[in-house]
Structure 1
Amino acid sequence: MTGRSDNRPTIVITGASSGIGQATAEAFARLGARLVLAARGAEALEQVAAHCRTLGGDAIAVPTDVTDAQAVRRLADRALAFGRTIDVWVSNVGIGAVGRFQDTPIESHEQVIRANLIGHLNDAHAVMPVFLRQRFGTFINMISLGGFAATPFATSYSASKYGLRGFAEALRAEVADQPDIHVCDVYPAFIDTPGIRHGANYTGRKLSAPPPVYDARKVAAAIVDLARAPRDTTVVGSVAQFVRLGHFVAPGLSGRVMARFIRSSLDRAERVPISDGNLFAPPRDAGGIDGGLRSPKQRALVGLAAVAGLALAAVLLRSKPAYGRTGHAERGPALPPPTPRLEHSR
């Protein structure tokens, strides 16, 4: 989209100051959308909004802590004043605390639940009445592969993602009689964002993500696709599909394997200070989209993991229903067809 018109969709994105949120904001900006960007860090958020304006979007920054229900309602009001409707709400906030359960302060566990679960409930509670009045709208709920399988040494994160999955399924059922209101879940694999660097670390060891690690722009492209053609469940990255299948077949084993892998990785990692990270305050650095986790070797492993995942799926699913995206396409906001520039980011 190169011109501007009155029928441009209004997109609200929380957690928009870095990582997947920033990548998503930039993807929609290239399509000329109206963007209402929210996060705790005002300076980083305004930088993203300013860049989105240079890309062709009409963007405003609304500093918001999603754990504050009143603040989220004000965000929805600001979005309506800015765009007259809210077409898509991307509920994207996610924080983490890594460490043994008993070594992680209970206040940190609580904060992860507040941001990752209650924050998403606050988002939906603020926008769902708007959708019902409009009789249309798409709520895109960012979960993770942690919604399919347990995440040892990040127990509150795991609890929040399992909770998000149940919340979304229940809410989706409640609005099933509204054909143009959609609740969409996104389950990314490990994504290269500043999230691990920004998160709380109670292990005393440097944290990383196991390969393959995917580009956040791949998730952003999937979100844009959902805005055009909503569907219930979208998995991004073949590894997430592999984890989902593995947990379905042997849930206890998959958790033990993951715990063993994490212990081994931590034992080899360099020592770093204990930190609360961004749990209770925005990160000091702006972050950007990329986290610097993808090495050439990790990129090569993406292809190998895809082949392995497809091979396992073929064996497991011979006698089982197909997994993957569910639901069907319905009317979404008036977004144009993909541009070559956006397609290149996948």
Structure 2
Amino acid sequence: MTGRVVLVVGASSGIGLATAIEFARRADNLVLVSRSREALDVTEEACRSAGAAAVDVIADDVCDPGSAGRIVATTLSRHGRVDVVVHTATVMGYGTVEAMPADVFTTVVDIAVHSTVQLAQAVLPVLRRQHAGVFIGVNSLLGSVTVPHMGAYTAAKWGQRAVLRTLQQETRDEPGIHVCIVSPGSINTPIYYQAANYTGRTTRPPFPVLSPERVAAAITRLADRPRRHVSVPVGPTNPLIISAFRLLPRLYDLLVGPLFRLAALTRTTLPPTTGNVHQPIPARERAHGHWPAKRTP
């Protein structure tokens, strides 16, 4: 299928950027959303070069309660319909629950959970009028397990996963509408280097690390052939980690802390930072992160 209207939220970096380019290669009509207009301009150029039929950009903050309505209204005014919605917008925070400032913790959760709710509330009535459409939420392995020093992000992704699963149940009455979940593991994107951080150390994606294009391929496959009742994992170790978390909780809890420090923290010190949680950092927005280099951004 080509020529669809595809709305990508969080399109200026990482998985969102890779996904936008993948849909562009299919000659779809793209509406790209991000907080950063500067980074969106780069994404727009990349998508036009990749073959998109049309590219519109909207600089808006999905944490704003009115943003979802504005985004969907603008999409309809320009294209008259929306066929695929991909929600990739997210931010990350490192640090214990005790150490992380409440406003940082809350914003990490808001961007994942409340923006998913608000986007669904704005777009699902449109999909119901069309009797067709695909809503894809990009969740995470950490929507199924917990990890020390990542309490804000795991709370965000558990909450988002709950919203998406509920939406799957609540749209069963409309066979043409599909709510899909993609759950990546460790992906080489800039999110690790832009995160809020209260651990005292710089961070990196833990091995094994996959490219954002792997996730983009999974997303475009779902847009072509939606799978309503499953969460599609992207990462070879995801099933093993989830099984250990559920079936061997004592062993999991014994090992997860040391493994996190070994795999996710570097030896480079870092003062406390809010990263891009409250404001975007356009200069650091791109499809790929620094992995495998172990350096401070």
| TMscore range, shorter length | over 0.9
In structure 1, C-alpha distance between the alignment counterparts of 2:213 and 2:51, rounded to whole Å: 18
Quickly say closer, same or farther: Cα 1:129–1:201, change in 2 above 3 A.
same
Quickly say closer, same or farther: Cα 1:281–1:215, change in 2 above 3 A.
same
Match of 1:55 in 2: 50
Letter in 1 for 2:272: I
8 A Cα contact 1:17 1:286, kept in partner: no
- State TM-score, norm by structure 2: 0.93
Moved over 4 A (4+): 264-268
In structure 1, C-alpha distance between the alignment counterparts of 2:8 and 2:113, rounded to whole Å: 16
TM-fit CA distance, 1:55: 1.3
In structure 1, C-alpha distance between the alignment counterparts of 2:138 and 2:3, rounded to whole Å: 23
8 A Cα contact 2:203 2:265, kept in partner: no
In structure 2, C-alpha distance between the alignment counterparts of 1:252 and 1:150, rounded to whole Å: 13
Q: How does 1:100-249 map to 2 (within 5 A)?
A: 100-232=96-228, 233-249=231-247
Equivalent position SS for 2:268: coil
Sequence identity (%): 33
Q: How does 1:1-346 map to 2 (within 5 A)?
A: 8-57=3-52, 58-232=54-228, 233-264=231-262, 269-294=267-292
Quickly say closer, same or farther: Cα 1:186–1:162, change in 2 above 3 A.
same
TM-fit CA distance, 1:287: 2.1
Q: Which has the higher strand share?
A: 2
Quickly say closer, same or farther: Cα 1:275–1:133, change in 2 above 3 A.
same
8 A Cα contact 1:93 1:120, kept in partner: no
In structure 1, C-alpha distance between the alignment counterparts of 2:33 and 2:63, rounded to whole Å: 12
Q: CA RMSD in A?
A: 1.6
In structure 1, C-alpha distance between the alignment counterparts of 2:32 and 2:107, rounded to whole Å: 22
In structure 2, C-alpha distance between the alignment counterparts of 1:252 and 1:83, rounded to whole Å: 53
8 A Cα contact 2:182 2:232, kept in partner: yes
In structure 1, C-alpha distance between the alignment counterparts of 2:250 and 2:160, rounded to whole Å: 21
TM-fit CA distance, 1:270: 1.3
8 A Cα contact 1:30 1:55, kept in partner: yes
List alignment gaps of at least 5 residues for structure 2: none
Match of 1:343 in 2: none
List alignment gaps of at least 5 residues for structure 1: 2-6, 296-346
Equivalent position SS for 1:12: strand
TM-fit CA distance, 1:63: 0.6
TM-fit CA distance, 1:249: 1.4
8 A Cα contact 2:32 2:58, kept in partner: yes
The count of residues paired between Structure 1 and Structure 2 equals: 290
- State TM-score, norm by structure 1: 0.80
In structure 2, C-alpha distance between the alignment counterparts of 1:144 and 1:267, rounded to whole Å: 19
